Amino acid sequence: MEFGLSQDQLMLGDSVRKFLASEVPLDTVRQLAAGEADDSSVWQGLADMGLAGLIIPEAHGGAQLGMLDAVVIAEALGYAACPGPFLSTAIMSAYLLKAAGATDPLARMPQVTIGSVSPSATSSAREKGKLPRLIPS
């Protein structure tokens, strides 16, 4: 039994690292952290690579990959200190939409996969004990 990453996962991580090295150098990260730049072009580039729809089913425009693939990408993003809504959009959005009781939880996923919508969770104290509502950001 082999416990390493597959060739596809290694290539995925390498592709993300190469993109980040060319598009998000440390100076850009510093500008983003200081509020001197906008990270939307970075996120759109990652979405164009298919990362926004990483775990979303292919039938809804996603790549239908697994959580280990997400870990490979998260590691590359963390190494580059890359800002952006990867966790909230690429990973949690499909799960939250389903948990929030959306009648068709994947109806908005094609918009998420191309990076045009990044779901956000909101909640109020009056709704204690209920799951958060989701609104597009």
Q: What is the pLDDT of residue 102?
A: 56
Distance CA 130, CA 118 (A): 22
Per-residue pLDDT for 116 more than 70?
no
Distance CA 14, CA 49 (A): 13
pTM equals 0.73
Tell me how many degrees the CA angle 52-56-108 measures, rounded to the nearest 5: 80
Per-residue pLDDT for 8 more than 90?
yes
Most confident of 55-64, 79-88, 104-113, 128-137: 79-88
| Cross-strand pairs, 120 | 135
Distance CA 28, CA 106 (A): 34
Distance CA 51, CA 86 (A): 8
Q: Which of 25-34, 43-52, 57-66, 118-127 comes out lowest in average pLDDT?
A: 118-127
Residue ranges and CATH numbers for the domains of the chain are 7-136 (1.10.540.10)
Q: What is the pLDDT of residue 76?
A: 96
Q: Residue 38 burial (CB < 10 Å; 0-12/13-18/19+)?
A: exposed
Evaluated on CA atoms 98, 69, 71, 27, the torsion sign reads: negative
Q: What is the pLDDT of residue 119?
A: 59
Q: Please give the DSSP secondary-structure letter assigned to residue 121.
A: E
pLDDT tens by residue, 14-55: 999 999 999 999 998 899 888 888 878 888 899 889 888 888
Per-residue pLDDT for 74 more than 90?
yes
Residue type (1 letter), 72 = V
Contacts (Cβ under 8 Å, ≥6 apart) of 49: 15, 16, 19
Higher pLDDT, 1 or 81: 81
Higher pLDDT, 74 or 112: 74
